[in-house]
Amino acid sequence: MQNHEKATVKYTKEDAIITMPIENYRKMCGYFNTFNEAMNELGETMDFRLSELSSMDYLRFSMQHNLGFEKIKGHWSDYKIPDRK
């Protein structure tokens, strides 16, 4: 599924620079395309295929893993950007 090498986040005064393996970036783009197609279909038909649900779940995992989002303590499903280190 994913290369489990963690993304790195470096902060400058105004920017966050995220570095990740190119294969993870490619996969995230593919998951986004499936998600985008599903959202377009949902907007037109108010329905989407279950196979798209799997890709949306991969997109969610991929974004959390590759962009380094951190789970917020005490929240069931909310994430935050990492604290600047």
pLDDT of amino acid 3:
52
Domain assignment of residue 59, yes or no: yes
Domain assignment of residue 19, yes or no: yes
Domain assignment of residue 2, yes or no: no
Span 3-14, average pLDDT: 79
Domain assignment of residue 20, yes or no: yes
pLDDT, tens digit, for every residue of 40-84? 777 677 666 777 777 778 888 888 878 878 888 888 778 888 877
Span 24-51, average pLDDT: 77
Q: If DSSP codes are grouped into helix, strand and coil, which group holds residue 48?
A: coil
The residue segments making up the domain with residue 33 are 8-80
Domain assignment of residue 44, yes or no: yes
Total count of domains within the chain: 1
User: Does position 1 have pLDDT exceeding 50, yes or no?
Assistant: no
Domain assignment of residue 16, yes or no: yes
Domain assignment of residue 66, yes or no: yes
pLDDT of amino acid 8:
85
> Does pTM surpass 0.75?
no
Amino acid (one-letter) located at 53: L
Domain assignment of residue 1, yes or no: no
Nearest to 26 by CA among 51, 58, 52, 53: 58
